[in-house]
Amino acid sequence: MIKMRSELLLLLPLVAAFIGFPLLSVPVFFVRSTIIIIMWVILAESWNILGGYTGYVSFGHAAFFGLGAYFVAILLRDVGLSPFITAPIAGLFSSGVAFVFGYAVLRLKGNYFSIATLSLNYVLQLVISNIYWMTGGGNGLSLVTLPFDIKTSLSIFYWYFLAVALITIYVIYRINRSTFGWAMLAIRENEDAAKSLGIDVNVIKRRAYAISAFFTGLAGGAYAYFISYIDPPSAFAIAFNLNVVLMSIFGGLGTILGPLIGAISLTSVLLLVTYTFMSSLNLAIYGVILIIVVMFAPDGIVSILSRRKKV
Amino acid sequence: MLDLLLQAIINGVLIGGVYASLSIGLALVWGVMDIVNFAHAGFMILAAFLYYFMLQLFGVDPFLSLILIFPIFFLVGASVYKLLITRLRRPELMSLIVTFGVLVILEGSMSSLWGNEPKALATAYSVFSINVGGLVVRSSYLLGFLLSLVMMLMLNFLLKSTLIGKKIRATAQSREAAVIMGIDTATVTLITFSLGLATAAVAAVPIALSFAFYPGAYLYWTLMMFLIVALGGLGSVFGTFFGSLAIGLIQSISTVLLPVEWADVIAFTLLVVVLLIKPRGLFGKL
């Protein structure tokens, strides 16, 4: 494990790079790709709050992403509220749903928890596509785009996503150093022992689930506006669930730097193979990379960095 | 209404049998080794494609191709296990990720080789149906059910009445104890994993006969399979069988009583409810 402080030091150049990035006048394509990368950073970091710290591997976080996206899209269509304002409210909404779900599914352990979250994800997707009078069903929803030219609106999105990412990471950093953070780690290491030490494990787990869902829902809302079209299969994508898990494991579970590195590197690889091969073969290549990493760096990329540091 | 219900019950039982053939492989590996093979349904789709091409190119019936594909899949399972699974440090979590990688490779290769168009196995008998007093029994459903039943009985015999079956059950109960009793658990787990994967080739026959398939179709089947295993428990042949029948019945009866699009909502909500009441499945472990 890298010490918190050195982890933050490693973070600084990254943040500087992301802040400096728009100053270089790069093609629109790269800005779009970088926004997507930042979004995955938010998603992987927020998944990691539950999955990495408490050890409850959720396969259903796309549910909160999709709920956030639909929340924002429906409010924009019916009330005309700007998604930039409604996205945090969408986060709160997702977080509330997670809190309620938590009463049920957090009683399950291991693979059973993963399966239960995956099926809730699927159920929500079906429900959203079935209540077509509200959600447009399988036709999806189109969102009104920003009234600026591509470059300006892209840079607005860029700063919005970057701000959310920084807030997410800051919140996780604060959690990390709090008793709440230690309680989560205690649950991951040994839930019964944590309970016997007087930690109210159910409250801690629900809180972690809700915080995790908040940022995922917020990102979902912002994403809906950014991409300007959503439909149930894309908003509740099962592939989404696997991606966040993979990014966190790829980088290193239960660290701040891990999901960040995982999200940046895996999204870049995925974007690269998608645009260079232009065929479904990119999926296969992604799979090969994934297996190689899990075989040779099972504790994530961060573990390699820290191993080198010790020597 | 009664006719519709009876018809739904017949279809539900037959489809349930088909579900069983797919889920047993996952349940077996999970129950014995505590490993989840995420790629199970992906291999099933691969086998379905192989049957499709055997039929289209050489005119070989899927039931005959099975005799060839089954041992091949057994060997593929052995290599996946030897090359990937045995080298993992924390197999319980990491096997999920690695087999997901295998699944993604399978999907990517299949869709770039054969495209994403849904395909169906059309044999001479797949359109044939038997009419019993106004109730229709589709021959592809019936054949699939029978194949599945035969496989389940054979697996049950293997587990209950042979030496290797006893070794598999002992390993499932406690790997440490099995080692102490002189059981070569490395070989036992190798055989279990390979056998589990080979059953995906069996499941592909009825599924390809009765449903359309395409590279991404594994998703629905993966969810279905998890649902059944959660309901039927791990590694129990009869648990899986009855879990599958229950799901088949719930699905087909709810399509009679409710609009079709809500049937899966019911099924998967039920899964969560069952998990909450019985967190280790209705029928427990082997």
CA A158/CA A40 separation, integer angstroms: 13
Interface test with A, best of B89, B275, B278 (most A CBs within 10 A): B275
Q: Is the pLDDT of residue B275 over 70?
A: yes
Q: Bigger pLDDT: B22 or B230?
A: B22
Region A195-206 average pLDDT: 90
Question: For residue A260, what are the contacts with CB-CB under 8 A and spacing of at least 6?
Answer: A11, A14, A41, A44, A45, A169, A251
Q: Indicate whether A244 pLDDT > 50.
A: yes
B174 Ramachandran zone, left/alpha/beta (phi>0; psi -120 to 50): beta
Q: Do A116 and B112 touch (CB under 8 A)?
A: no
Residue B9 has pLDDT above 60, yes or no: yes
Which of A40-44, A88-92, B270-274 is least confident? B270-274
pLDDT above 50: residue B171: yes
Give A304's contacts (C-beta < 8 A, 6+ positions apart): A297
CA distances from A92 to A88, A89, A122, A130 (A): 6, 5, 21, 24
Per-residue pLDDT reduced to its tens digit, B117-150 = 898 888 877 777 888 777 888 888 888 899 999 9
- Kindly report, residue by residue over A260-299, the tens digit of the pLDDT: 988 998 888 888 877 776 566 777 887 888 788 788 877 7
- Mean pLDDT, chain A, as a whole number? 84
**Ranges A62-76, A185-199, B102-116, most confident:** A62-76
Instruction: Check residue A19 and give its pLDDT.
Output: 75
- What local confidence, expressed as pLDDT, does residue A14 receive? 75
| Chain B residues with beta carbon closer than 8 angstroms to that of A120 | 268, 272
Tell me whether residues B105 and A279 touch, CB distance under 8 A.
no
pLDDT at A310 over 60: no
Q: Which pLDDT score is estimated for A221? A: 93
For residue B203, the model assigns a pLDDT of 94
Query: For residue B7, which of B256, B178, B258, B237 has the smallest C-alpha distance?
Result: B256
What letter represents residue B198's amino acid? Answer: A
Tell me if ipTM is over 0.85: no
Q: For the residues B108-119, what does the mean pLDDT come to?
A: 88
Label residue A2 by pLDDT band (50, 70, 90): very low
Lowest mean pLDDT segment, chosen from A263-267, B8-12, B253-257:
B253-257
Q: Kindly tell me if the per-residue pLDDT of B283 is higher than 70.
A: no
- Give the contacts of A67 (CB within 8 A, at least 6 positions apart): A90, A93, A94, A97, A124, A217, A220
Average pLDDT over residues B89-111: 84
Q: Write out the two tokens for A299.
A: 């504790």
Q: Per-residue pLDDT for B285 more than 60?
A: no
Chain B residues within 8 angstroms (CB to CB) of chain A: 30, 36, 84, 87-90, 92-94, 96-98, 100-105, 107-109, 111-112, 116, 215, 219, 223, 226-227, 230, 261-262, 264-265, 268-269, 271-272, 275-276, 279-280
Q: Would you say B23 and B244 are in contact if contact means Cβ atoms under 8 Å apart?
A: yes
| Banded pLDDT at A309 (limits 50, 70, 90) | very low
A128 close to B (CB below 8 A): no
Question: Who has greater pLDDT, B283 or B201?
Answer: B201
The per-residue pLDDT for A255 is 83
The enclosing H or E element of A25 equals none
Can you give the pLDDT at residue A12? 74
Distance from CA of A159 to the nearest CA of B (A): 33
Q: Where does the pLDDT of residue A1 fall: very low under 50, low under 70, confident under 90, or very high at 90 and above? A: very low
The rounded distance, in Å, linking the Cα atoms of A252 and A93 is 29
- Residue B132 CA neighbour count, 13 Å, CB half: 7
